[in-house]
Amino acid sequence: MKKKSDRLPSEDRRKQLIEATLACLMQDGTSGLSSRKICAQAGVSLGLLNHHFANQVDLLAAAYETISVRYHQDLRARIASNKDNHSAPVETLVACAFDADLISPDQLRAWIVFWSQAIDSPVMRAMHDTINERFQTYLIEILSQSFPRLDADQLRALAIEYSALADGLWLDWSLNSKNQDARSWQAILEQWLARTLASA
């Protein structure tokens, strides 16, 4: 057996550390936010983390961006594939809001940790702003196709309303200790959409 080298190009190692960070946060929440635990999860020494990331906040911000971009891209792909079936983008958006392939209670618990860090750290706050703005732009793009009579300000308000509702339902879902079956939360979101479409 030839022992392969453990060396990785910088970018690959960074990605691996980011994935390890997400895994730790999903497993243990705030207490998973530990450089040592993250390195252990990645099977890597402690010093390596500081070789690839200047400090812990940079790693955390990168992980925040990664999980956000991943969700964003998965969502785009899903909506694009459903568009062929003549389903309005906003219908697909709502339909897969609690889809296990796109989002899980574990991931949402990691998201809550990111939120709590956005309170403390300016870097995380800035990343939060970027992520929010990015997603809001996409939401407006989607909503405008089903709400053609709304102007820009109204669309923006509706986008904020949708993301707030989705975030709140996700929060309730992921912190709920009784029932992890997403159906009831899903139904609430669908009824919201039906009501909103009817009144537009």
Partner DNA sequence: TATACTATTGTACGATCGTTCAATAGTAAT
Partner DNA sequence: ATTACTATTGAACGATCGTACAATAGTATA
d(CA 63, CA 61) in angstroms, rounded, equals 5
d(CA 27, CA 51) in angstroms, rounded, equals 25
Q: Is 123 in the site for DNA (CB under 7 A)?
A: no
Minimum Å distance from CB 29 to DNA? 12
Identify which range of 3-11, 16-24, 45-53, 178-186 contacts a second copy by CB under 8 A.
178-186
**Per-residue tokens: 7:** 């060396």
User: Do the Cβ atoms of 93 and 147 come closer than 8 Å?
Assistant: no
**Per-residue tokens: 78:** 């899903």
Task: Tally the residues of the chain.
Answer: 200
Site for a second copy in 16-55 (CB under 8 A): 28-31
Site for DNA in 52-111 (CB under 7 A): 52, 55-57
Closer to DNA by CB, 37 or 109: give it. 37
Closer to DNA by CB, 47 or 148: give it. 47
**Per-residue tokens: 131:** 């992520």
Q: Which of 37, 78, 109, 128 binds DNA (CB under 7 A)?
A: 37
d(CA 79, CA 198) in angstroms, rounded, equals 22
User: Do the Cβ atoms of 60 and 117 come closer than 8 Å?
Assistant: yes
d(CA 62, CA 56) in angstroms, rounded, equals 10
Minimum Å distance from CB 185 to a second copy? 8
List C-alpha distances in Å: 108 to 69, 83, 126, 149, 174.
14, 27, 20, 34, 6
Closer to DNA by CB, 47 or 122: give it. 47
Minimum Å distance from CB 162 to a second copy? 9
Q: Is 191 in the site for a second copy (CB under 8 A)?
A: yes
**Chain residues in the site for a second copy (CB under 8 A):** 28-31, 109, 112-113, 115-120, 125-126, 128-129, 132, 157, 160-161, 163-169, 171-172, 175-178, 184-185, 187-188, 191-192, 195-196, 198-199
**Chain residues in the site for DNA (CB under 7 A):** 5-10, 13, 31, 33-37, 44-52, 55-57
